[in-house]
Structure 1
Amino acid sequence: MAVRPTDKNDRATIRRTLHYFWGVTRQKMGAFVLSIVSSVGYIALLTFANTYVMGLIVDRVQASPVSADQVLPVFGPYVLALLVVNAVGQTLSKLQDYSVYKLEINGDYQLSRLCFDTLSNQSMTFHNSRFGGSLVSQTSRFVSGYSGLVDVVTYSLWPTLASIVLTVGILAPIAPLFVAILVVMLVLYVVIAYGMYRRILPLSAEASRAQNKLSGVLSDAVTNILAVKTYGREDYERGLFTTADREAMAAENINMRATMRRGFTTSALITVIMFVVSIFVVGGNAWFGISAGTLVMMFTYTYNLTMRFNYFNSMMQRINRALGDAAEMTRVLDEPTLVADDEDAKPLEVTEGRIDFENLRFRYPDAPKDDYVFEDLNLHIPAGQRVGLVGRSGSGKTTLTKLLLRLDDVQEGRVLVDGQDVSHCTQQSLRRQVAYVPQEALLFHRSIRENIAYGKPDATEEEIRRAAEEANALEFIERLPDGFDTMVGERGVKLSGGQRQRVAIARAILVDAPILVLDEATSALDSESEALVQGALENLMRGRTSIVVAHRLSTVASLDRIVVLAHGEVVEDGTHHELVERGGEYASLWNRQTGGFLE
């Protein structure tokens, strides 16, 4: 597997990741400071103060024998000191845990919300080119990366730094030569270890990327499980999953082997350091007149420090893992938002519902440079008019509705609603003025009641029932065991296609928006259901500006006006009868229908 070397992009990603992590940490500065104080205090007391008192006890024992009746008077103060040191140290240990909890709980909440807001505000072009499962995995890894970094910093980094400062500070006056040699060797250790683990970071990022891809493959197969089963493609999907699984395992193995090789190198350096310590311990008294208690203290301090550095291997690995896990989502967070509100964007106010497409020039951001859907398209829709958009697949019908909803932004030209440029209005206010029913009903794994009331969550029970009745959905809903409380399953899979569509139409009816967009809204209905729902849609469209996208030309024949698109241009415009009599593109499409569908 090819591995990207560490480059400027990797370093920039690390800086941006740390920027996001520090941003949420600053919100809990008190907990952050407490994590430092408690970590340093915990080590200072339970490792250094404990050992220091024990060294004093050893020196006192070595100085002269103590009779049985003098043990408590002589050693009582030392015992009391140990009791206080351990009690305070254990308290600091719990405060350390508390600070970590506070930082992680806040970080998980804030970073999850940051990811959600970023993903929900991205354009449909962004989402159409990515696995939803991979984005979920990237979000999870980004958040867990923060928690992992908080853990390693609090429980490893601060204690290690404190151990260095305290070891040098306490032993330098006693054994300056020993401390000088120790510092040189530890600096050498850090330089070598950091250099090695800096080269491992791309391996951790690659392993995380492979895991995210694996999650995407799994999500894609599970989401489309009906297609997998009905076409008997379980073995094929298993093959795709196995391939992605092997790639993920190979990336993890490469990362593991690189980490282990560097681990052996750092362990060898620790062995050399302990060898030097042993020499000083055995000869310290003879060569430098150092007391037994001080030698015990020197050995314990240095041994604790070297063990801390021995865990440097694990610490760097965990830091690499945290930063590697967060890398992909960091890049997503840094991607420009293709459709964004202006800083001074104002809410859209619809009084009439007039729509104008002026000199539109548009291509999808991921399309070839000269592959434009529209070039200088103009279309005026008066307020309250019911307009059908027809044309062969790829003519730009659905794209035009997406530009009205501002799911994508035009490169040139304007989309106006009542004279207001939608690109200068807030997206939420725009979409709340447009009731949209797509070809495939968009349902959540929630109750039917919640799905119908999604655009108007404060709707009364009576309003919800009335909307369901007008959409010809009430009858089938009441036949369900749980009625309006029935859970519809992911994407509404527990309902038939026609039932899903009627629930979506009921949602649009309940919203009662001044502009209505129906994108093949009746295509999933059988003839009987279509006839019943068509009447409800006629009532719904009355008095509203309505755009109806259809391949089934019978659904638009009765509308006020029909606009025919071909190759991104308006080629015909008129009523059904006018266009049929004209004998042009629409008449040709009408005559070539089979069962009312455009071939």
Structure 2
Amino acid sequence: MRAQTTGDDEPQRRPDWRILRSLLPYLMEYRGRVFLALACLTLAKLANVTVPIALKYIVDHFEGRAEALIAVPLGLVAAYGLLRFSAVFFSELRDAVFARVAERAMRRVSLAVFEHLHRLELAFHLSRRMGGLARDIERGTTGISFLLRFTLFNILPTLLEIAMVAVILVVAFSPGFVTTVLAAVGVYIFFSIVVTEWRTRFVRESNEMDSQSNTRAMDSLLNYETVKYFGNERFEAERYDHNLAAWEAARMKNRLSLAALNSGQALIIAAAVTVMMMMAASQVADGRMSLGDLVMVNAYMIQLFIPLNFLGFVYREIRQALVSIERMFRLLETNEAVVDAPDAVPLQPDGGELRFDSVAFGYQPERTILRDLNFTVHPGQTVAIVGPSGAGKSTIARLLFRFYDVNEGRILINGQDIRDVTQESLRRAIGVVPQDTVLFNESIYYNIAYGRPDAPREAVLDAARRANLQGFIDRLPDGYDTRVGERGLKVSGGEKQRIAIARMLLKDPPILILDEATSALDSHSEQAVLAALAAATVRRTTLAIAHRLSTIMNADAILVLDQGRVVEQGTHVQLLAAGGLYHALWQQQQHSLDRDASEQGRAD
């Protein structure tokens, strides 16, 4: 069964504190640095809690005296300054030592999520909105660093400092001071936890609205041309503003609830300090405490409640960080629908015979796409698959790449069921030129070399020439270094298709899938590319999915699909003579070509 996914309509859940436990392996990778950082933390807190003691002795020395500074008080002042410096120095040293641990953890988790997303099946990505997903990952990665740093270096040291101060107060003063401090700390922590838990809903709502607005913006900008075609700039702006208004309202709730939390915390701190100072002042008046003791108590209160107040902030931020990273962590819990078998072996293509054996498949249980599909493509043979829209042609390519697993039957390559071989070896053996080519926002050279990143430059240039790209590239000011833009929007459809063909030629696989490979080419380029593809298919098993029947006339065999079944098969000549569905599709395309030619002639 699939674990609960992180779709946009996912039910809200409480943040899972077990996430903290899942971060322990990242700490243990650098356990030496962690322990050294904890030692620096302890030294910094020891120096910090000793400062008020030095201050007490300085004040007591001058209480009722008028003599100038001499060696003893001068030494106390120097010790006071040294302790102050030590507290800051060891804190900074702690951060420097721990920096590698936090940054490496962010790197490891980001890489784990990235790799896991690439392992998830195509259906997952088709159902996701990439804008919201990217924002979730960004917030989650930042939250990991925050959790590691502040859990270790704010919550732990603050608790350590409270314990140290409590011991000093017990030793130096009456138990009433310790009771007051512990009571104030208890009330403060209880109040902070209760109110923070209450306002977590507003943090979550704010994050959700932020993801939605970001998704809306990215979706609109990626479809920039469509927006322009229909003049819907105002419509898109209004939809985006609607999302921003919801985000603004959620942020306001977040801000107001934060103000209530801060005010309550400030009231608790002020009340505790007031009570402590009243107790100290009373004992000074009775002669049971010196003026230095009063100063020390006041210093401890300030020193204690400043980090305690920061602890409230840290707790709030940790809760917000948990809310931010829970979706990213649940991505890692999302089960892969298509996985390698435990005993999977590398594919041995050896010529690449393809066989679909009684294959049935549907994207949803209630809608079957392929039904009892049977055919074989022999090594070195070129077989074309044609048929009306929705017949299941492109689905065959997706199944062969194992983007999905068949519901029934088997797909075999040289007698090996593709479910019994590793996905990496399967996809390495197959090259594809898709119908809708999407390019990386990099240079033309990068996009061609993507077919085989370790290929020498001459091989990349040769693949470009074989795909009839050289003339186009020579006309560009930056040549192969020309960037193609987001999703390849800076080059034409035909140019994108030729880049995809060059990329496939560079990969040089034993099995080829041509999914409408020349659909976006003009007649001149089409003939040149068809010649290159014809040379590339020699001694290779080729499956050509075609809509334009003129491009597959020379195929060794043509399979005609209708409603998920092979209803006709044979050569082009044989199928035309049979007068069936293929003949009807051919006549329909010829009439369309004649009509277009006639309309073009009248226009000229």
What is the TM-score with the length of structure 1 in the denominator?
0.92
CA–CA separation in structure 2 for the residues paired with 1:192 and 1:265: 8
Map Cα deviations across residues 346-379 of structure 1 (whole Å, 9 max, x no partner).
Answer: 2212112011222323232xx3x32222343333
Map Cα deviations across residues 371-415 of structure 1 (whole Å, 9 max, x no partner).
Answer: 222343333222222111111222111111011011122233322
Structure 1 equivalent of residue 568 of structure 2: 572
CA–CA separation in structure 2 for the residues paired with 1:428 and 1:557: 33
Structure 2 equivalent of residue 48 of structure 1: 49
Instruction: Give the residue type in structure 2 aligned to 1:215.
Output: N
Q: 1:238 to 1:20 in 2, by over 3 A?
A: farther
Residue 22 (structure 1) aligned with residue 61 (structure 2) = no
Residue 10 (structure 1) aligned with residue 13 (structure 2) = yes
Structure 2 equivalent of residue 81 of structure 1: 79
Give the unaligned 5+ runs of structure 2: 1-9, 597-604
104, 119, 144: which one aligns with 1:146: 144
Runs of 4+ in 1 over 6 A off after TM superposition: none
**1:253-402 maps to which residues of 2 (within 5 A)?**
253-286=252-285, 289-364=288-363, 367=364, 369-402=365-398
Residue 127 (structure 1) aligned with residue 125 (structure 2) = yes
Structure 2 equivalent of residue 438 of structure 1: 434
523, 530, 553: which one aligns with 2:526: 530
Residue 229 (structure 1) aligned with residue 232 (structure 2) = no
Q: 1:487 to 1:184 in 2, by over 3 A?
A: same
**Is the contact made by 2:493 and 2:520 (CA closer than 8 Å) also made in structure 1?**
yes
CA–CA separation in structure 1 for the residues paired with 2:153 and 2:136: 25
2:346 aligned counterpart, secondary structure: coil
CA–CA separation in structure 1 for the residues paired with 2:121 and 2:538: 31
How far the C-alpha of 1:287 sits from its partner, in A, is 5.5
Structure 1 equivalent of residue 34 of structure 2: 32
Instruction: Give the residue type in structure 2 aligned to 1:74.
Output: V
2:252 aligned counterpart, secondary structure: helix
1:356 aligned counterpart, secondary structure: strand
2:573 aligned counterpart, secondary structure: helix
Q: 1:27 to 1:203 in 2, by over 3 A?
A: farther
CA–CA separation in structure 1 for the residues paired with 2:402 and 2:259: 52
Q: 1:22 to 1:416 in 2, by over 3 A?
A: same
Give the unaligned 5+ runs of structure 1: 1-6
CA–CA separation in structure 2 for the residues paired with 1:16 and 1:394: 46
How far the C-alpha of 1:486 sits from its partner, in A, is 1.9
CA–CA separation in structure 2 for the residues paired with 1:576 and 1:457: 38
Q: Which is worse superposed, 486-495 or 431-440?
A: 486-495
Map Cα deviations across residues 177-209 of structure 1 (whole Å, 9 max, x no partner).
Answer: 221232123212212221221232233222212
Structure 1 equivalent of residue 102 of structure 2: 104
Instruction: Give the residue type in structure 2 aligned to 1:61.
Output: F
**Is the contact made by 1:384 and 1:543 (CA closer than 8 Å) also made in structure 2?**
yes
1:336 aligned counterpart, secondary structure: coil
Q: Which is worse superposed, 98-107 or 507-516?
A: 98-107
CA–CA separation in structure 2 for the residues paired with 1:84 and 1:407: 65
Instruction: Give the residue type in structure 1 aligned to 2:279.
Output: F
Instruction: Give the residue type in structure 1 aligned to 2:194.
Output: G
Map Cα deviations across residues 518-574 of structure 1 (whole Å, 9 max, x no partner).
Answer: 111111111121122111111111211111111111112221111122222222222
Instruction: Give the residue type in structure 2 aligned to 1:374.
Output: L
How far the C-alpha of 1:19 sits from its partner, in A, is 4.2
**Is the contact made by 1:40 and 1:158 (CA closer than 8 Å) also made in structure 2?**
no
**1:207-226 maps to which residues of 2 (within 5 A)?**
207-226=206-225
CA–CA separation in structure 2 for the residues paired with 1:495 and 1:325: 38
CA–CA separation in structure 1 for the residues paired with 2:222 and 2:301: 56
CA–CA separation in structure 2 for the residues paired with 1:8 and 1:490: 33
Q: 1:100 to 1:215 in 2, by over 3 A?
A: farther
Instruction: Give the residue type in structure 2 aligned to 1:110.
Output: R
1:10 aligned counterpart, secondary structure: coil
CA–CA separation in structure 2 for the residues paired with 1:128 and 1:331: 18
Instruction: Give the residue type in structure 2 aligned to 1:37.
Output: A
Map Cα deviations across residues 224-277 of structure 1 (whole Å, 9 max, x no partner).
Answer: 212222322211211221122122222222222222223322322223212211
How far the C-alpha of 1:596 sits from its partner, in A, is 5.9
1:350 aligned counterpart, secondary structure: coil
**Is the contact made by 2:37 and 2:97 (CA closer than 8 Å) also made in structure 1?**
yes
Q: 1:106 to 1:81 in 2, by over 3 A?
A: same
How far the C-alpha of 1:492 sits from its partner, in A, is 1.9
2:431 aligned counterpart, secondary structure: strand
Q: Which is worse superposed, 103-112 or 399-408?
A: 103-112
**Is the contact made by 2:432 and 2:513 (CA closer than 8 Å) also made in structure 1?**
yes
**Is the contact made by 2:384 and 2:545 (CA closer than 8 Å) also made in structure 1?**
yes
Residue 117 (structure 1) aligned with residue 118 (structure 2) = no
Structure 1 equivalent of residue 7 of structure 2: none
CA–CA separation in structure 2 for the residues paired with 1:244 and 1:380: 52
Instruction: Give the residue type in structure 2 aligned to 1:322.
Output: A
CA–CA separation in structure 2 for the residues paired with 1:576 and 1:16: 63
485, 498, 523: which one aligns with 2:494: 498
Identity over the aligned pairs, expressed in percent?
34
What is the TM-score with the length of structure 2 in the denominator?
0.91
Residue 65 (structure 1) aligned with residue 61 (structure 2) = no
CA–CA separation in structure 2 for the residues paired with 1:292 and 1:337: 69
CA–CA separation in structure 2 for the residues paired with 1:89 and 1:509: 64
Structure 1 equivalent of residue 485 of structure 2: 489
Q: Which is worse superposed, 470-479 or 294-303?
A: 294-303
2:13 aligned counterpart, secondary structure: helix
Structure 2 equivalent of residue 474 of structure 1: 470
Instruction: Give the residue type in structure 2 aligned to 1:453.
Output: A
